[in-house]
Amino acid sequence: KFDTGLELSLLQEYCLVCLDVFREFPYAKDKNEQTAWLSFLLTETVEEAEKLVSEYPWLEEIYRELAMLRRKPEEVLGMFSDALKIMDQNTVKYMIDEQKQVMNEQQKKINEQKEELIEKDRKYEALKTESDRKIKEQADRIRELEALVAQK
């Protein structure tokens, strides 16, 4: 249960921090990775970034990469384009999987219908054989009766 009263069933334990509250009351005493990341997300000026890098030197590489991306926005577009290609490939794979599933279901129905048809054909053949047998018996009986009538 969250401070707001929101109840969510989550598989993992989460710590949610309201960034505007963190900005008002920074946890300056806590020098840890979580504080560094929260401060990084709130950085708005070069001076704040320089101060943060002096406190957390490992953030310098991230800031350098961000600065490079600002100078070369085509890099961001390239990453975005690559992400879209991957999404497109995944979409195609998903659609193919969906179509395979539909085809498998349809093939299953076709096989069931074939089995039903084969069973109906067997019943028809059995009935036809029985009908032919009865017709032959009746024809034989008619010949016998005609022979008796002819004798009298």
Q: Could you please report the per-residue DSSP string of the chain?
A: --TTS-----SS------HHHHHHS--TT--SHHHHHHHHHH--SHHHHHHHHHH-GGGHHHHHHHHHHHH-HHHHHHHHHHHHHHHHHHHHHHHHHHHHHHHHHHHHHHHHHHHHHHHHHHHHHHHHHHHHHHHHHHHHHHHHHHHHHHH-
pTM of the model: 0.42
Q: Which of 19-23, 120-124, 125-129 has the lowest mean pLDDT?
A: 19-23
Contact assessment for residue 38 and residue 17, using Cβ atoms and an 8 Å cutoff: yes
Residue 80 in this model has a pLDDT that exceeds 90: no
pLDDT in tens, 16-67: 777 877 777 766 567 788 888 888 888 888 898 999 999 899 999 999 988 8
